[in-house]
Structure 1
Amino acid sequence: MAMARFLGLGFLFVFAVIAGQAMAAPKKPIAVARREDIPYIKCGVCEQIVKQLDRQVTSIRNQIAPKRLSEYQIIEVAENICNLKKEEGDWLLHLDIVEDGDKLKLVEQEQEGDCNAECKTIERTCQEVIGYHDTDVAEFLFKSEPQSSSLLKFLCNDLSRACSVKPPPVPKDRTPGEPFVPKSSKEAEMEKIMRSMSGMPGASNMKMYSKDDLMNMPNFGSNGEDEDDEEDEDDDYTSSRMRNTKRPLVSVESDWKKSLLDRVQSTFSNVKDRTQHAVLGAKWSLDRISDKIRKWYKGRKSSSKPSKSQKVEL
C-alpha cells in the first residue's frame, strides 16, 4: 500500500512537471487542409467512405449477432466516419495522396501515419462528400442492407455527385505533398488512449510528449542544487525500502498504470455509449417530427388553394 502511494505521488509529480513546462515546449506547426486538392481526390475519398461504412457496419453487426443492428448505431458510424478525433475516422490516417500522371490517387498504408496537410485534406474532403447526407446514408444502410456497389451509387452519384463528374487534370506546377511518415505502434496506441480520455472533465488539454520533446523542455530533468538533510533522509529511507522490495519498481509502476487506465477507459466507454445513444435517439426523433410537420404543412397549404372548378363557380 505504501509503495503504491509512493508511486502514485511520483506519477503525479512527473505529470505536474510536464504540465508546467508545456507552455515552454516547442510547438509543431498546425497542419491545414489543401483545399485546392479536394476536386482531384473527391471521388476516391467517396469510394473509401463507402468501403469503410460497409466494413464498420458489418463488423458491428457481427459483434452483436444474433441481435439486430439498430439505426442509431449506424447513424453513429456515419456521423463519425470523417472525424479524426473519433475511432471511426482512424482509416483516414492510413491514406497517402500520391501523384499519378495528371491525377491524384489515394494509397492505403498498413500503418497509421502522422496527420499533416494531406491527412487534413482527406478529412476535409470526406466531410464535404458526406455533408448532411449522414442520416440518409444510415437510413439506406439500415433499411436496405445494400451491397457496396449500391451504396457507392447512392452516395457518390445520387447524393454527393462526387463521382458523377470526371476530376480535372492536376496542374503540372502543383506543389507535392509531404511524404507519408508512419507512426510506431506504441505511439498510435498512446494516442488512442489519450483520445478516449479527451471527453473526461479536466482532460481536454492533456497532451502527449515524446522523449525528445521532454528533454528539450527547459529545466526538465535538472536537479536542484540545494537539498536539506530531511530530504536526504527520506531518499535514503525510500531507497532502502525499494532495495528490500522483492518486486521490481518498473513492474509495480506498469501494473498500477495499466490498472488505472483500464478503469478509466471502462468507465468512460460506458458513459460515452449511453450519452451518444441518447443524443442519437433525440436527433432521430427530431428528424422524424420535422418530416411530419413539413408534410402536414405542405398538405395544408395545397388544400387551402381553390381548385379551378371553384374559381369558375365564383
Structure 2
Amino acid sequence: MPRLGEVEIGEVLDAICDPDDNLGEWITFYDITQQDSELLLQQRDGVGECRRECSTLTHACRAVFDEYREDMTEMLFKHYRTETPKKLSAEKFVSRVCTKMSKSCPAKSAPAGFQHKDEQWLPVMDPDSYKMRKMQHALNKQSKDGVGAPVQFLDPMGPMMMEDEDL
C-alpha cells in the first residue's frame, strides 16, 4: 500500500464533510432526534436523502474541519509517515479532535425550552437519481481540477417528489 502524503490526506479531509462525495456519504446515514434536552444522532441502515438535517450535519462537520484541517492533516501524516507507523485508533483521533482541538464534541444539553423540529429521515427514493447526483458531483469535482467543464443534470421528478415538507 503506497504511503499517503500530507496533500493526499488533506484531500481526504476535504471530502469527508461532503454528503455528495463517497467519503462524506456517511452524513446521509444519520437522523437528528431529540430526547428531553439532548439532541441525538441516530444511525440509519442506509443512504438517506440529504435534506435540512443532513445540511445541518454538513455545516457542523465543515465548521470543525475547516478550522482544524491543517492540525488533523499533520496529526494523521505524523502517525503514518514512518516505516513502522504508530497506531492511531479512531477513538484516539476523535478524542484529540473533540477535546484537545475544538472542544465541539463533548455532549451538551440544548438550551432550555429548545424544541427540535424533527424532519423524517428518508431513504434514497430513486437509486437512478442518486447515481446521477453522485456522477454529477464526481464530474464537477474533476472540473475544479481543470479536467472538463461543470455539468448539471436535471431530475425531471425532483421538484414533484419534495413539495410537501411535512411528510
Shorter-chain TM-score category? 0.7 to 0.9
List per-residue Cα deviations over 1:117-141 (Å, max 9, x = no partner): 1111101111122232112111111
Report the AA paired with residue 153 of structure 2.
Answer: K
Aligned length: 146
Residue 151 of structure 1: CA displacement?
Answer: 0.7
Give the distance between the partners of 1:191 and 1:178, measured in 2 at CA.
22
Match of 1:39 in 2: none
Query: Structure 1 regions of 5+ residues with no counterpart?
Result: 1-64, 215-314
Cα distance change on mapping 1:211 and 1:81 into 2, 3 Å? closer
Alignment counterpart, residue 117 of structure 1, candidates 45, 49, 52: 52
Select the structure of larger CA radius of gyration: 1
User: Are the equivalent residues in 2 in contact too, given 1:114–1:182 (CA < 8 A)?
Assistant: yes
Query: CA RMSD for the aligned pairs?
Result: 2.3
Contact 2:52–2:119, Cα closer than 8 Å, also in 1: yes
| 1:129 aligned residue (64, 76, 100) | 64
Provide the rounded CA distance (Å) in 2 between the counterparts of 1:79 and 1:148: 18
Contact 2:21 2:134 (C-alpha < 8 Å) held by counterparts: no
Contact 1:130-1:160 within 8 A present in 2 as well? no
Is residue 2:95 matched to residue 1:160? no
3-state DSSP of counterpart to 2:155: coil
Q: Aligned equivalents of 2:35 and 2:159: distance in 1?
A: 36
Q: Deviations over 1:146-176 (max 9, x none)?
A: 1122212210001111135x41235445142
From 103, 115, 122, the equivalent of 1:174 is 115
> Secondary structure of 2:24's match?
helix
Q: Normalising by the residue count of structure 2, what TM-score does the alignment of the two structures yield? A: 0.75
State the alpha-carbon separation in 1 of the partners of residues 67 and 129 from structure 2: 33
> What does residue 108 of structure 1 align with?
43
Report the TM-score, using the length of structure 1 for normalisation: 0.42
Structure that is richer in helix per residue:
1
Distance 1:168 1:211 in 2: 40
1:209 aligns with 2:150: no
Q: Quick one: which of 119, 128, 138 aligns to 1:186? A: 128
Q: Contact 2:33/2:116 (CA < 8 Å) preserved in 1?
A: no
Corresponding residue of 1:147: 89
Cα distance, 1:108 vs. partner?
1.6
Identical amino acids, percent of aligned pairs: 23
Taking structure 1 as reference, are residues 120 and 75 closer, same or farther at Cα in structure 2, changes over 3 Å only?
same
Alpha-carbon distance change, 188 to 210 in structure 1, aligned in 2, over 3 angstroms: same
Tell me the distance in 1 between the aligned counterparts of 2:15 and 2:138.
14
Residues 171 and 116 of structure 1, relative CA distance in 2, 3 Å threshold? farther
Aligned with 1:107: secondary structure? strand
Could you list the structure 1 runs, at least 4 aligned residues long, displaced by more than 6 angstroms after superposition.
none
Structure 2 counterpart SS, 1:99: strand
Measured in 1, the distance between the counterparts of 2:94 and 2:113 equals 30
